[in-house]
Amino acid sequence: MRFDGRKSDETRQIKMTRGFTKHAQGSVLIEMGDTKVLCTAMVEEKVPMFLKGSGKGWVTAEYAMLPSSTQTRKNRDIAKLRLDGRSTEIQRLIGRSLRSVMNLEALGERTVWIDCDVIQADGGTRCASITGAFVALVDALNAVDKLTPFETYPLQGMVSAVSVGIHEEGAILDLNYVEDSSCMVDMNVIMNHKGEYIELQGTGEERPFTAKELTALLALGEKGNMDLQNFVKETLGSDLGRIEF
C-alpha cells in the first residue's frame, strides 16, 4: 500500500466535469487525485498555411500552469516573453497524441485548438491533459457535427495517458508529486484503444533500468490506460457511438 492507501496498480480517483466553461465547444475539468486541469477545445474554420488548399484539418495544443497551481508561485511565461521548454514539450505531446486518433481529411480545413491549463498540480499533469483533452475534443467535434454534419466522423479511436514509475517498493501506477519526485525511474505511457503505444517517455532519474523493469512498467501503463479509457467511455455515454473503432 502507498501512503495515500492505493495499491501499486491503482490509479488515483478520477473525475470529469463536461461543459465546464461556457464559450468553448468542448470543455472538461479533469481531476486525477489532487491534479486538476481545465481542457478546452475550440474549432476555427481555417488551417495553418502549410495545409491551406490540402483539404486536411489540424489539431494543435497549448499547455500552461497557472501561477497558483504549485506550492510556490510559478511565474507566467509572458513574464519571460517566451514559452519555457517544458511547456513547449508538453503541448507538442498533447497535439501529437490527439492527432494520432484523428482523420484529418474528414475534419476538413478546420483547426481544433486544444488548451490545457493546470489549475492544481500534484503530478501527472501532462497525462491528465491528454485524457481530458480527448473528451473535450469529442464534445467540440459533436458541436460542429450538429451544425454541419461530417460525411465521415473525424475521430478514429480513443487516446489516454498515464504515468508509471519505479519506487523503493517496486513499480507503481499514476504517480502523484511526492512519488514522482522520489522515483528512481519514471515514464509516461500514451496509448490508443487498441493497446498500441502512441508515445513512451521514460527516464532513469536515479539509476538505469532493466528490460524486466521496463516490461513491468509497460504492463502497468497498459492497465492504467485501459482503466482510464473505460472511465472515459462511461463519461461519454452515447456520444461515443460515432467514433470509428
C-alpha grid cell, residue 106: 474528414
Q: Which domain holds residue 196?
A: 14-240
pLDDT at 79 over 70: no
pLDDT band at 21 (very low <50, low <70, confident <90, very high): very high
Do the Cβ atoms of 134 and 158 come closer than 8 Å?
yes
Burial of 180-200, coded b for 16+ CB within 10 Å and e otherwise, reads: beebebbbbbbbbbeeeebee
Residue 4 lies in a domain: no
CA distance 8 to 202: 18
**Averaged pLDDT for residues 3-17:** 94
Q: What is the mean pLDDT of residues 173-194?
A: 95
Please give the Cα distance from 116 to 24 (Å, whole number): 12
Residue 188 lies in a domain: yes
Is 245 a domain residue? Answer: no
Cβ-contact 24, 41 below 8 angstroms: yes
| Residue 8 lies inside a defined structural domain of this protein | no
Is residue 81 very low, low, confident or very high in pLDDT (cuts 50, 70, 90)?
Answer: low
Which residue carries 497498459 as its cell?
222
| Inter-residue contact 138 to 193 (CB < 8 Å) | no
Which residues participate in the annotated binding site?
Answer: 86, 124-126
> Does residue 51 carry a pLDDT above 90?
yes
Inside any domain, residue 3? no
Answer yes or no: is pLDDT of 241 > 90. no
Quick one: pLDDT at residue 25? 97
Residue 172 to residue 186: CA distance in whole angstroms:
9
List the CATH number of the domain containing 95: 3.30.230.70
Residue 101 has a pLDDT of: 97
189-224, pLDDT tens digit by residue? 999 999 999 999 999 988 999 999 999 999 999 999
Domain count, the chain: 1
Structural domain includes residue 157: yes
Average pLDDT, the chain: 94
Strand order in the sheet with 185-192: 170-173, 159-167, 185-192, 197-204
Which pLDDT score is estimated for 76? 82
Residue 6 domain-assigned? no
- Give the annotated binding-site residues for phosphate: 86, 124-126
Point out the least confidently predicted range of 75-84, 128-137, 218-227.
75-84
Segment holding 214, helix H or strand E = helix 211-236
Interacting residues of 10 by C-beta distance below 8 A, sequence separation 6+: 173, 174
